[in-house]
Structure 1
């Protein structure tokens, strides 16, 4: 008999519906089991490795895992998977020693990241741990992008946001360039980077000045 290949997400589609429904395929049953045994730190780390921002997602995720939860087949409500992610985050011990760190010996590759929102920060976390030297550009004075500017603090406390972002920014190997607007990508391309990641999101809709009635809506 061949061993089970859990690297294939389709496996979870067959046996763990909630894990398959999660875009990051986070190991939901395992971190719930750890929470049951009050091992909040390891439960947090399972989430951090796969979905990067557990404390943030435990508050704002739209929880696609919960409609897929098998409990709805026998009860009216699913397991509160998203809230349990927050439980792990709020009750964990210090995790800094467990997080990825940039190696002292770099691999000689330089990457520019345009935008300091969740997309670029996720790329930064993964590449810094592999020895890449990263330059992170954003026109705002601090990192966060949409999760900082669009989610109210009563829903996502600034302390939680800053803590999770700093876990990445403090890894090493990441040089930040805040208050720096990249208006022409050619300015970055001319600096000899091995790769450029554009994670600028969609902060502003396109205006339609010629649309009838547009000005009356101002």
Structure 2
């Protein structure tokens, strides 16, 4: 009898222990179960580049009140009052443009044969010709010697310096061949050659200069006998 009572007590104890464990597990499950289902996971849409019509925009960074904005026209540091000095432009140095000044030709040397105190003479002259025709400034009048040779001179009452003469022939006459230029005061030969035109020589001071025609292919005609200091 006593053995039966002890076994019954043990069974009830085991049943109570099992029931308590089940109750504890149930309460634990109820405590751990969430009140609502978790929201579904959201996945980001795939990225696509912005189109030309809709330029991409980026969020503006918050402005720092301690940093002053920089003007695009000036990078000079701000002054103590918060204002920036005006931008200074570096001066550009260009080489001066070359200037071309018009050159004025030197004045023509005066023809000393036309001086008021000048005169002309010579060795011979053809009929109707005059020595003064070689210093009248006209090419339509001329002096001719008798034949193909002769002398014609320009003279002044005082010494003058001469370094160049020009013999200008009139049309229709014989061409001058060989010639000499002489200082009539000393009879020194200043130059010699062939053919009329401009003749230069060392400057000389004299009162009379003579042009000697030593030959021609016909009777020569000297329209002007010009003399120059340079």
Same fold (TM over 0.5): no
Alignment TM class, shorter chain as reference: under 0.3
Normalising by structure 2, report the TM-score.
Answer: 0.19
More strand by share: 2
Kindly name which structure, 1 or 2, has the bigger radius of gyration based on alpha carbons: 2
